[in-house]
Structure 1
Amino acid sequence: MQRVTSFFATMALLGLLSGPAAAVTLIKDEEARLPAAAAGLVTRGITRGPGVKMLSPDPAAGPVKSPFNLKVSFEPRGGARIDPASVSVTYLKATPVDLLPRVKAGLSAGGIELAGAEVPPGEHQIRVTVQDSEGRQSSTVLQLNVVK
């Protein structure tokens, strides 16, 4: 009997007995209520650094309902590799909020994939910064418009 119990305990620890993945709270309600960041976000022009592109939700599709699948791709250039340890994900508010611990489970050299990202209604700006093996860095601000 103990052998069976140990087997199930081990399987549960490995996550093999868990059901569908739970949603991830990307932005908390109290964070969404924080004062907005100063206007006039500075972005750079042409860069040889890696590309950062939001694939889902589709930015051209308009407002999205929460929870949604978040998919961001990292596009290395010139044979360089993306350094996942260099990635930062920040919710842009007057006091910026580090979202990296919340997306870490879905982070890879290819990008970020989160199933069931929960975000309160409103307009949200998230800065994603990534660096490649050549030391070139790029930042992109993701615009999320979430409705009830």
Structure 2
Amino acid sequence: MKLTRIILVASLMLATSVANSAQLISAKEAALPAASGTLATRGISRGPSVKMVSPEADTPVASPIDFKVNFEARGEGKIDPSSVKVVYMKSPFVDLTPRLKGAISAQGIDFAKADVPPGAHTIRVTVKDNDGRETNSVFTLNVIK
């Protein structure tokens, strides 16, 4: 009886953790070929600052992950949350923005417990300020089993 109760509790905990996560990238999308070419970005920009906070750059992490990006306007500008675009760099490109809609604010993106399959996943985040200045930043998520 006690062993059955332990198994039941463990099963419920696993189901709860799966239920509390949301898919950021599907296995089918991860299997698409990588986008060809390189993303050209300017070295100096007056556009907003975009910084990946979580997961840490070049750090392998297990899924689900907390996907967190901070935005910071420069000067008198203010971030325009409706301008944010998040693209998975595959061929064809996969627009992740609709999946992140509720997690995007003027401060950044805060998407907790994102399901991402194992592998290296290149993501481009584009954001503009209210003066139309744009920044494109590319990040790679390294997800392990």
| Partner SS for 2:79 | coil
Distance of 2:134 and 2:84 partners within structure 1: 10
Shift of 1:105: 1.2
Identity of aligned residues (%): 54
Shift of 1:40: 2.5
- Residues 49-75 of structure 1: per-residue CA shift (max 9 Å, x gap): 001100011115x21110011110001
Query: 1:89 maps to what in 2?
Result: 86
Shift of 1:89: 0.5
Count of residues in Structure 1 that have an aligned counterpart in Structure 2: 129
Shift of 1:92: 0.4
Q: Which range moves more in the overlay, 70-79 or 38-47?
A: 38-47
- With normalisation by structure 2, the TM-score equals 0.84
* Structure in which a larger fraction of residues adopt strand: 2
Query: 1:132 maps to what in 2?
Result: 129
Which amino acid counterpart does residue 93 of structure 2 have in structure 1?
Answer: P
| Partner SS for 2:34 | coil
Distance of 2:47 and 2:90 partners within structure 1: 25
Query: 2:6 maps to what in 1?
Result: none
Within the candidate set 103, 108, 113, 2:105 is matched to: 108
Query: 1:57 maps to what in 2?
Result: 55
Shift of 1:43: 1.9
Instruction: Write out the 4+ residue segments of structure 1 that deviate beyond 4 Å after TM superposition.
Output: none
Aligned pairs (5 A) from 1:1-148: 22-60=20-58, 62-148=59-145
- With normalisation by structure 1, the TM-score equals 0.83
